[in-house]
Amino acid sequence: MKINENYNNLTESYLFSTIAQKHGAYKAAHPDKKVISLGIGDVTLPLAPAVTLAMEKAVAEMGVKATFRGYGDSQGYAFLREAVCGYYARKGVEISENDVFVSDGAKSDLGNILDIFDGGNTVLIPDPVYPAYVDANVMAGRRIIYTQGSEGNNFLPMPGGEKADIIYLCSPNNPTGAVYTREQLGEWVTYARKHGAIILFDSAYEAFVGGDDLPTSIYEIDGARECAIEFCSLSKTAGFTGTRCGYTIVPFETGLRNMWLRRQSTKFNGVPYIIQRGAEAVFTPEGQEQIKENIDYYMENAHTIARGLSKAGVWYVGGQNSPYIWMKIEDEVIKKSDYKSEGTSWAFFDFLLENAQIVGTPGVGFGKMGEGYFRLSSFGDRDDVIEAMDRMCKIL
């Protein structure tokens, strides 16, 4: 038996393990200091009452023969696919139930979707980016080209000259928090249609868009149904990171819906009934109101972080329609520190931990273009966020 040799081309990521190790070492050396983490990429508020109520009811149904459910449709129960369509309809986007695939999360589908594409396709990935896009394509041996985010384009890279077949976009972006405008997405759709490319649109943070007339779905753009698959998740929207449910839209017009259905019915057996009932509750009026409270809580944290950075005169993107803030590390900060050994992002990590007892995420962990930048997250406690920004303003 021969293994898939492409796995040898994967680079090990030590990002989060190195953060945890440095954080642990500092705490051990300074047991009296309170370290605050603005590095959390996970939600901290509990599930909404509407969701737990629906799941309690579903658990009870599963314990009684008359209401017990065995195998469901691998594409998801109709009740949840209808609820998803209702959610889109309220945004003014018409989606057919047949185009909705209930998933166990955007990460699974963003990787597994590659099954239906030829290995010879060229993949375009923004840099910096959520690392799973790159790894899933390295595993399949595909050629990867990058489109570069920078201060110049506000970390919203646009199509360049090179032809790509598969294009990953993430908006609101992880890690930068930057959000494409309708016009910008329109350019991407035009580019994809011109080149016969497919856009894999990661919309996991769409619920954090709160105004500014920004798009929350690529299907708000004319022509996107022919060239885009959209990946959505309840992980951040409704605190489902440990509950595992999302949905993927594969429009009939892409010509790929039947292939994806065949892939899923061969290698997937659907999301638990209990979890799908919980997900359905997210889309009820009570559910929507309850999750909005949580999103508002995180967004107030994000605004606190953004205000602090503005006050300190630091350049950043994100934090307006996203739980993430992507800040630039000013040269002077690094110059006045001795932490130069591992590159700017890591030097700033050390500087922030030692001088303000704050943990964040070095931008270089998300790609080469992330060097010199730093990700702050708004998923922590309100009081901690306020205290962290007070501390940070004093040293920047």
Q: Whose Cβ is closer to a second copy: residue 139's or residue 395's?
A: 139
Q: Binding to a second copy by residue 11, rule CB under 8 A?
A: no
Shortest Å, Cβ 141 to a second copy: 9
Q: Binding to a second copy by residue 139, rule CB under 8 A?
A: yes
Token pair 């990002």 in the structure block, residue:
15
Shortest Å, Cβ 62 to a second copy: 5
Q: Binding to a second copy by residue 375, rule CB under 8 A?
A: no
98's CB contacts (< 8 A; 6+ apart) are 252, 257
Q: Binding to a second copy by residue 331, rule CB under 8 A?
A: no
According to CB under 8 A, which one of 116, 312, 393, 395 is a site residue for a second copy? 116
Residues 61-92: b if buried by 16+ CB within 10 A, e if exposed: eeeeeeeeeeebebbbbeebbebbbebbeeee
Q: Binding to a second copy by residue 105, rule CB under 8 A?
A: yes
Q: In what helix (H) or strand (E) does residue 265 lie, and over which residues does it extend? A: helix 257-267
**DSSP state string for 8-63:** GGPPPP-HHHHHHHHHHHHHHH-TTS--EE----S--SPPPHHHHHHHHHHHHHHT
Q: Whose Cβ is closer to a second copy: residue 191's or residue 348's?
A: 191
> Interface mask (CB under 8 A) for a second copy, residues 249-288, using x and -?
-------x--x--xx--xxxxxxxxxx-------------
Shortest Å, Cβ 393 to a second copy: 28
The sign of the CA dihedral 18, 19, 22, 24 is negative
Euclidean distance between CA atoms 21 and 29, whole angstroms? 12
The sign of the CA dihedral 198, 215, 279, 324 is positive
Q: Whose Cβ is closer to a second copy: residue 60's or residue 89's?
A: 60
> Which residues contact a second copy by CB under 8 A?
1-5, 7, 10, 42-47, 49, 51-52, 55-56, 59-60, 62-65, 68-72, 104-105, 107-108, 111-112, 115-121, 132, 135-136, 139, 165-166, 196-198, 239, 241-244, 256, 259, 262-263, 266-275
